[in-house]
Amino acid sequence: MHCISEDTRHGDSDDGRGQGPQRLAGAPFSHRGTPWAGIALLCSLVVPAGWIAGCATREPAPAPAPAPVRPVAPMARPAPSPGAARNWDEFRLRAAQKLVAANPGITYTGSVPEPLLAIPVLSVELNADGSVARIDVMRHPSQAKDTTQIAIDAVRRAAPFGDVSRLPRPWKYVETFLFDEERKFKPVTLDR
């Protein structure tokens, strides 16, 4: 059942006096029959709701918790290289330690066995930067003569030995190699 007639929905009806749509006494004017009726209704409800919502107080959103501060680990730095040796004794000790470090598979650091297989002695002449200029054999062993070449090769692998330019000339040192039965050596400087 329709509340209004077809004529009223389109705004064509009047009350006979030419005054437009009929309305009841005391009732507000109705836009039901006009094309703008929906828009007017929507505006009358939505706009005041927006004003009211704009006036409402909101609690501010809680600030995000600060990220935990993690301590920054210092970057690993290579160990500083030791300064130049102050004298030839200090240089010989450093050179012997470098010989062992550069030749881990053919050295030993424990006590010296009895009897030794071979004892070659080398004289190592150096350049100012610690590189090897020349190696002379001062003593060849009577047996296991191949140990002399093992010692020479070990010196070349360990070089350079560090700056010697501040040490007195000639830049030369002597090392004795104590070989055990397995053809592993220990510099005599480390056995003192």
Q: Which pLDDT does position 84 carry in this prediction?
A: 82
Q: Which pLDDT does position 78 carry in this prediction?
A: 33
Provide the 3-class DSSP secondary structure of residue 61.
coil
Q: Which pLDDT does position 61 carry in this prediction?
A: 64
Q: Which pLDDT does position 35 carry in this prediction?
A: 58
Unique residue bearing structure tokens 């002449």 = 125
Contacts of 179 (CB under 8 A, 6+ apart): 116, 117, 118, 119, 120, 141, 144, 147, 150, 185
pTM of the full structure: 0.57
Q: Which pLDDT does position 192 carry in this prediction?
A: 79
133/10 Cα distance (integer angstroms)? 115
Tell me the pLDDT of the chain (192 aa) as tens digits: 454 444 444 444 444 455 554 544 554 545 455 555 555 555 555 555 555 555 555 566 666 666 555 444 344 333 334 578 899 999 999 999 999 999 999 999 999 999 999 999 999 999 999 999 999 999 999 999 999 999 999 999 999 999 999 999 999 999 999 999 999 999 999 987
